[in-house]
Amino acid sequence: MEKPYLVIEWNDTETDATGWLVIHNFVKGYTSGGIRMHPQVTRQEVEHLAKTMAYKYVASESTTTGGCKGGIAYDYKASDAKEVLRRFVIAMMPYINSDTTDVSASLGEDLGTSYHDVLNVFKEFDFDLPITKSMKQDETVQKGINDYNELLKTKIDGLFLDHAVTGYGVAFSADEAWNLKGGNTNARVVIQGFGSVGASCALKLEQLGYKIVGISDANLLVTCPEGLDVNKLIESKNEYGEMDQASFEPHYVVQSNSEWLDVDCDIVIPAALENAVNGENAHKIKVDLVVEAANNPISKEGDDMLREKGVDIVNDFIANLGSIRFYDAILFGLIEPETQAVIDDIDTLCRKNVRKLFSEAAKKQAYQRNIAKQLFKPSISDTPGPEKSMPL
């Protein structure tokens, strides 16, 4: 279960883009994950992300879904990025929507891609959500698909629900961990990234009484020791999660985004890049809580340094499971299909997992990441096929 079940490499016929679909495991013929696009994507990164997805489904209490990931090495801002994404999705179609085997890899959005664009390709092929043959015959799942599509149109706090769920889950996780540590109120938070996840996390933490004192995006770092106005920054950000300097208050300070770990704060939340905390910069971390909103945002060297320093962490597949829990809980009818019920469910699950993580880590005097890998290790890896058709 440490090696991926399947790795498929794709070379675009019209550009120099290369991509991979990595399926870490299937559960009942089903596996799910997003598609990432940026110029530095590697096969190794996609394999690592697919594995993280498998753990994340276990942490989400899913009994129906394995972990996979798509990755495309291409500039997500290029004028033809959407066509490249479309050709990648089409190339992977036999694994996404198969009528000959009871198998489906459900692909959604990740860094550099939007769910809407992925969905448009599915529509060309006449389906809404990729599911297995058994799922197509299941009334609960059919209702779940409709409910999910309806919920995608709803908003909370001005954000589309699917753009809120992950960041809110990160915020609930950070809040639970901070409370368990006996942290002070009004704690100061720095966040790397202001996309779907970074922005919604900042907003929920602000609602919970935290001060967001620094946010970085692909272009800059903006700081304010008294707290940034998160709503105003969200209103003015563009589709790539980049803030508009014209909306900044005169007392905000703008610096290079590479200085994000120099900001004086209590909690650090990497919500953008892989290996954002690494052997070169981990020494700058002076806080004793890091919450991983991005997938795999801390390199092995960076992680060793944080562990030695005694920094507490809430790792990625516990903190950022919001969107997959939303999808699973609605698709399989685990909760009421209502906007607030989705948020409450993520609130409850994230806090429960963080309490379990911190209490086990304290009991065993061990680093949280090692404990998380024991607590949420995937134990199922089906060989999919007709003989595996089974009731959900």
Which residues ranging from 100 to 159 are in contact with ligand NAD (CB under 6 A)? 110-112
Strand partners, 159: 156
Applying CB under 6 A, does 19 fall inside the site for ligand NAD?
Answer: no
**Residue 315 within binding range of ligand NAD, rule CB under 6 A:** no
Among 91, 161, 213, 271, binds ligand NAD (CB under 6 A): 271
Q: Which of 69, 204, 211, 237 is catalytic?
A: 69
Report if residue 257 touches ligand NAD, rule: CB under 6 A: yes
CB of 221 to ligand NAD, least distance (A): 8
Instruction: Using only the alpha carbons of the chain, give its radius of gyration.
Output: 20
- If binding is defined by CB under 6 A, does position 193 make contact with ligand NAD? yes
> If 0-12 CB within 10 Å is exposed, 13-18 middle and 19+ buried, where does residue 117 land?
middle
Residue 309 assigned to a binding site:
no
139-156 burial: b if 16+ Cβ within 10 Å, else e: eebeebbebbeebbeeeb
What does the alpha-carbon distance between residue 227 and residue 186 come to, in Å, rounded to a whole number?
A: 10
Our finding on whether 18 is near ligand NAD (CB under 6 A) is: no
Supply the minimum distance, in Å, between the C-beta of residue 207 and ligand NAD: 18
Alpha-carbon span 7 to 110, nearest angstrom: 18
DSSP summary character for residue 13: S
- Annotated binding residue at 56? yes
Q: Which is nearer to ligand NAD, 103 or 372 (CB)?
A: 372
Which amino acid, residue 117?
A: D
Q: Choose, by CB under 6 A, the member of 223, 320, 353, 368 that binds ligand NAD.
A: 320
Please confirm, yes or no, whether 69 is among the known catalytic residues.
yes
Using DSSP's 3-state secondary structure scheme, residue 301 falls into helix
Residue of 78, 218, 341, 380 interacting with ligand NAD (CB under 6 A):
218
State the Cα–Cα distance between residues 239 and 251, nearest whole angstrom: 25
With contacts defined by CB under 6 A, name the span among 16-24, 89-97, 235-243, 367-375 that binds ligand NAD: 235-243
**Distance of closest approach, residue 323 Cβ to ligand NAD, in angstroms:** 4
Instruction: State the alpha helices, DSSP H only, in the chain.
Output: 43-59, 81-91, 93-96, 115-124, 133-136, 139-151, 161-180, 196-207, 230-236, 300-309, 316-319, 322-331, 339-364, 368-375
Measured from the CB atom, the residue of 196 and 223 that comes closer to ligand NAD is: 196
For position 217 contacting ligand NAD by CB under 6 A, the verdict is yes
By annotation, the residues acting in catalysis are: 69
Binding site for ligand NAD (CB under 6 A): 110-112, 166, 192-198, 216-218, 240-242, 257, 271-273, 293-295, 320, 323
Residue positions in the annotated binding site for substrate?
Answer: 56
Feature table: binding site for NAD(+): 166
